[in-house]
Structure 1
């Protein structure tokens, strides 16, 4: 059996494998003994302390510190953001606002944040809730009475505009040209960008054609700015396969392998001509096997020879991440190519858990505990540093994860020019500034581009990923949480928990994870 075939078989075997033995193996795969783990945690704690001293947390960190998913108001806001612009009629919008805003205690959040935009949002939501509530309870002032007289149409418009304002903070530009202009200042101090043209799965051929044109237009707009000899020093673009075909599913494999492969190949060839990075984004677990067939077919295109810019995003929360890296390495070697691999924690955890439950699967394709995902990420990072055919890209906002990557890079003799960190626009800014100045690392910023109507699904995924009270982004903003707790070693956490007595070994059957909302396995 070839290395490619062996890795593919191992990948399939691990899809729904039991979690506990996999995590035990992952701990061994990290190669970290107790001494190394202590050093990494100490470094991470120092990073957290430095980040907090900077007093320059981004809007996302400030927002989630006040409205995380551990609060009723945070859940209400997420639901409102997800649903508001999808509702077709005014009557339903009014009912939605009544439901999500009217019954929450917004006034308790006013003035609690260091970010004035967050405080203004709290004030506006509190005022809206007062208007919607019992007039005998609301504030007896002229502003309140005036707004109450104007009625629900004004509230509906104001809340809709507030959601647009919130969303605009997480979009790098409404168009690719606007985003390119916005990137100039960060690029001047060494940051690079990977642009994501916002959009979800295509539902029709017209949708797919529109997304294809958006990607091609973005590549053409970025091409004049790709002036460096190395792909690593130029901007890049991220592409969702599901946006390029309305029937991206195993049942339509013959169509996908013709139509979707050709569309992806055309975009890859255009990216190669511009000498820019071209990343295939990760999506739901049930699409992974089919995506590898597409990737193999496109990567084998003879005209792509000599280009190091083809990239693939892999998700550490997936149980198949290690054999997936082996497969990518073996495939690249067989074609005498070098590729990029962006390692992320994962973006569809809630959907993966619910799908497995609905389908009655024997297990989950993703890890159910945050610490397990963090360990998987470290094991995957170690493996990436052993692959000469792969340029590693580490996407994380977590100080412990960053400290672990730096430790593994030093062990592997890899300098900061042989890999890069990545972060999302609007998140982790201070941490990556510290990494750049203290360790000389390179950071690429993942920048969403598009109108607000295309933002909602992206924004909700970010809130789900980072709004849980166990996430780093949530904890870094809460100075009541000790730096040592924020920088806690995930291996030690798993070993301590698994050594404690338990009454059940069953995986979670309800809700958002084995330990509830605070255990989502993201950043």
Structure 2
């Protein structure tokens, strides 16, 4: 059995949660002071870093093929982008025809020839020749030299796309070998022998990303089991430090590894992780849990901490994890781990990395409208965080076996300075990268510090995600791996102290990376999201949802601002048939006619309302939706059977519609275009997006000056009715908006065939859309609206 209470102080864990998306300026300010060295130490770091870079540049560049390749084809170049696209796409295109079209599309405009001979690396030039398909196959003509695209076209014409495809697939496999250690552990271990004799160690990473099904998870789990057996045989009892180790992804061994499935994760994934850890303990090898996306960190700490604290692992110090310095929480995570290690009475192996998902983290936060970023927006801030974390780790060697993963010469020099004469730690690098740098570190005539190589193992087909992540991480023109090959760049600039750099910069974040709420600049405010992986947000939400758990809602026709009475019917939760959600009064034929009369009257007034006033009302509606997000999450869950995350997405999309159409109304008016409605617009929306599409149609029509009669899906009328209340509260007059809930065929047919209706906005089945169009076509002289299907 697992311990029900981990030996962890609540205050440290709370600090971790408080720092999830904390103010970047405050976090960086503290880390600068923590990471700062004395002037004498700083001078020694600069001198050592300078010597390291100078020696790398004077060494044979052919020894670092990937480093040179990433420099030659950096992602800021057109050819670099094409190279990444090909590497990513050719591994997964479904058929030969598609592959042929992709090759033609990507290669015709690329200037591969301009890269030939730029690099001294044999690997880079061989790759370039392969990409140009030269050698025995192609002979250059004068025209082709001036136009590489013409050359490729001629080659395809002579040999056919299959030959080109085969050549490119072969080139990608050659590239893959530079990134991947071997297809199997045995193959990788055999390849590693020469480097191990020099003092290198290895940590093998089984290629493969998150499991989508339990079948995937079982396959990955079996692969880890097999790998541990294989590594154990190779290790032959050398112990976790001197032996090769294994890296494990939690997302690979459970298909529902997310915060929403906390109980399942703790009950199902945790025992799996323990069994793998026990197997690694049996062979006495290193066992590292890899870092993943920031939204899984809190959950990961519970899983990792629970297994680490299990007494069955006592007597073994090979268990560890990776900590990402680009996360604002990294320093506090280390404090928590050190405390855990002390309480358990066993050392933990900790791999400090800078992080490989930065692009994803930034984009995900922007897309979801979160309060801030979990990662630093400036690269120098991440470097400062890394140094502060490294300093803390070295001060707690009683709790950690320290492992520092970096290809940055300044970072390496800083760690060496902070470590002093105690070399009981190791560096780490990626397979195929940083070789020239670490030859100076591992060599006994150099720094004589061991280096572990993080080496992926797997087949060519599994390379895709890893390859693209490495290209994104190290192919950018700000990457040290890229810049170290650029001899035009002064060494002093490369090894600039990030602490001094940040001390001289505004620390509010990168000026070109706006906060998620400011994603659209001055044009409009991004809809505010709710991070359901943040306990600081999730716990208050859960409390509010508990408060309204027994609440019921009412829906009825809303005519000229007044609710119509009638005989209600029960609205039942589609996921819990015993639960009543509310009451619904359906519109009668008389109600529908009254709604048309009221809307015609309201149109005359609303259409004359200035665009700025209409926009103000729509923006107010967006604000009201955000203020009532909790209630709509509950409604979407109970009436539409949606998840919490679906409810958040519904509200956010509806808010975006409100603000977008408010802007369009004002912009159209300023541009001098007449902004007049057509009359009364019927809006018919579906059940699957009961708030977002409902309001998307309504707000578009209202923004243009139309009066609206809204007919929501009968399955989700309560959601529409609550939204209708906010529409009136926002300042839209009751005469301009009518709600007629009820059966679609009855109400829809009556409205569509009413000659007083100017148009219909519809989202639903193609069959129903055809019926609507046919009905409207019978009305000559009436312009048909755009029907959304």
TM-score by length of 1: 0.91
Deviation at 1:137, TM superposition (A): 6.4
The aligned counterpart of 1:415 is 422
When structure 1 is superposed on structure 2, of 350-359 and 54-63 the one drifting more is 54-63
Asked whether the 8 Å contact 1:194–1:236 carries over to 2, the reply is yes
Deviation at 1:261, TM superposition (A): 0.8
The aligned counterpart of 2:232 is 223
- Take 1:495 and 1:482, find their aligned partners in 2: how far apart are those partners? 21
How do 1:364-383 and structure 2 match up within 5 A? 364-383=373-392
Secondary structure at 1:343's aligned position in 2? strand
The aligned counterpart of 2:112 is 106
From 465, 468, 474, the equivalent of 2:476 is: 468
- Take 2:289 and 2:357, find their aligned partners in 1: how far apart are those partners? 16
1:434 aligns with 2:440: yes
- Take 1:136 and 1:185, find their aligned partners in 2: how far apart are those partners? 42
Q: 1:136 to 1:196 in 2, by over 3 A?
A: closer
The aligned counterpart of 1:498 is 506
1:38 aligns with 2:34: no
The aligned counterpart of 1:65 is 71
Deviations 1:306-362 (A, max 9, x none): 110000100000100011001111111221111110000101011001100000012
Q: 1:503 to 1:407 in 2, by over 3 A?
A: closer
Query: Where does structure 2 lack aligned partners over 5 or more consecutive residues?
Result: 1-5, 521-789
1:119 aligns with 2:125: yes
Q: 1:332 to 1:72 in 2, by over 3 A?
A: same
The aligned counterpart of 2:546 is none
Asked whether the 8 Å contact 2:218–2:253 carries over to 1, the reply is yes
The aligned counterpart of 1:163 is 172
Asked whether the 8 Å contact 1:66–1:109 carries over to 2, the reply is yes
When structure 1 is superposed on structure 2, of 151-160 and 400-409 the one drifting more is 151-160
- Take 1:148 and 1:237, find their aligned partners in 2: how far apart are those partners? 48
Deviation at 1:35, TM superposition (A): 4.0
The aligned counterpart of 1:520 is none
The number of residue pairs the alignment matches comes to 503
Asked whether the 8 Å contact 2:442–2:450 carries over to 1, the reply is yes
Q: 1:156 to 1:37 in 2, by over 3 A?
A: same
Structure exhibiting the larger radius of gyration computed from Cα positions: 2
1:94 aligns with 2:100: yes
Deviations 1:273-295 (A, max 9, x none): 10000000000000011111111
Deviation at 1:386, TM superposition (A): 1.7
Deviation at 1:147, TM superposition (A): 4.7
When structure 1 is superposed on structure 2, of 209-218 and 139-148 the one drifting more is 139-148
Q: 1:139 to 1:299 in 2, by over 3 A?
A: closer
1:485 aligns with 2:490: no
Deviation at 1:421, TM superposition (A): 0.5
1:287 aligns with 2:296: yes
| Structure with the larger RCO, 1 or 2 (CA within 8 Å, 6+ apart) | 1
Query: Where does structure 1 lack aligned partners over 5 or more consecutive residues?
Result: 512-523
How do 1:229-268 and structure 2 match up within 5 A? 230-268=239-277
Q: 1:110 to 1:75 in 2, by over 3 A?
A: same
- Take 2:484 and 2:102, find their aligned partners in 1: how far apart are those partners? 32
The aligned counterpart of 2:282 is 273
Asked whether the 8 Å contact 2:108–2:149 carries over to 1, the reply is no
- Take 2:356 and 2:149, find their aligned partners in 1: how far apart are those partners? 45
Deviations 1:471-510 (A, max 9, x none): 111111111112212211111222233399x989944877
From 331, 341, 350, the equivalent of 1:341 is: 350
The aligned counterpart of 2:465 is 457
From 81, 84, 100, the equivalent of 1:78 is: 84
Q: 1:225 to 1:499 in 2, by over 3 A?
A: closer
- Take 1:290 and 1:151, find their aligned partners in 2: how far apart are those partners? 52
From 410, 414, 424, the equivalent of 1:404 is: 414
Secondary structure at 2:401's aligned position in 1? strand
- Take 2:392 and 2:148, find their aligned partners in 1: how far apart are those partners? 60
1:443 aligns with 2:451: yes
Asked whether the 8 Å contact 1:127–1:144 carries over to 2, the reply is no
TM-score by length of 2: 0.61
When structure 1 is superposed on structure 2, of 223-232 and 15-24 the one drifting more is 223-232
Asked whether the 8 Å contact 1:242–1:248 carries over to 2, the reply is yes
How do 1:175-194 and structure 2 match up within 5 A? 175-194=184-203
Deviation at 1:141, TM superposition (A): 11
Deviation at 1:3, TM superposition (A): 5.5
Deviations 1:92-116 (A, max 9, x none): 3233223322222111101211122
- Take 1:10 and 1:386, find their aligned partners in 2: how far apart are those partners? 20
- Take 1:338 and 1:145, find their aligned partners in 2: how far apart are those partners? 63
- Take 2:220 and 2:344, find their aligned partners in 1: how far apart are those partners? 29
When structure 1 is superposed on structure 2, of 108-117 and 206-215 the one drifting more is 108-117
Over the aligned positions, Cα root-mean-square deviation in angstroms equals: 2.6
Deviation at 1:143, TM superposition (A): 10
Deviation at 1:145, TM superposition (A): 5.0
Asked whether the 8 Å contact 1:325–1:384 carries over to 2, the reply is yes
Asked whether the 8 Å contact 1:101–1:125 carries over to 2, the reply is no
